[in-house]
């Protein structure tokens, strides 16, 4: 959840694990992705005719994945 107004849930970042070795699915790298910069959200909410939907987009720049075997093949 990136935001929950009714529960007052407003995390500053999300944590993701990325598999780092295509031959060993147990190998992974953890990344911490900020959701805000200077008080402005870095994520975008999905919308349809009824309003906000439960989909959000966060840009992740590939340079943070440098050296991961999975992305270099």
Per-residue pLDDT of the chain (73 residues; tens, 9 = 90+): 667 778 887 788 888 888 777 788 888 888 888 888 998 888 887 888 988 787 778 877 766 566 555 444 4
Buried b / exposed e over 26-58, threshold 16 CB at 10 Å, is eeeeeeeeebeeeeeeeeeeeeeeeeeeeebee
What CA–CA distance (Å, rounded) separates 6 from 51?
16
Q: How far is CA 25 from the centre of its chain?
A: 20
pTM score, whole prediction: 0.60
């Amino acid at each position: 959840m990136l935001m929950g107004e009714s529960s007052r849930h407003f995390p500053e970042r999300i944590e993701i694990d990325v598999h780092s070795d295509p031959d060993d699915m147990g190998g992974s790298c953890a990344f911490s992705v900020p959701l805000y910069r200077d008080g402005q959200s870095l994520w975008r909410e999905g919308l349809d005719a009824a309003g906000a939907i439960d989909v959000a987009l966060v840009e992740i720049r590939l340079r943070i994945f440098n050296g991961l075997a999975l992305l270099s093949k």
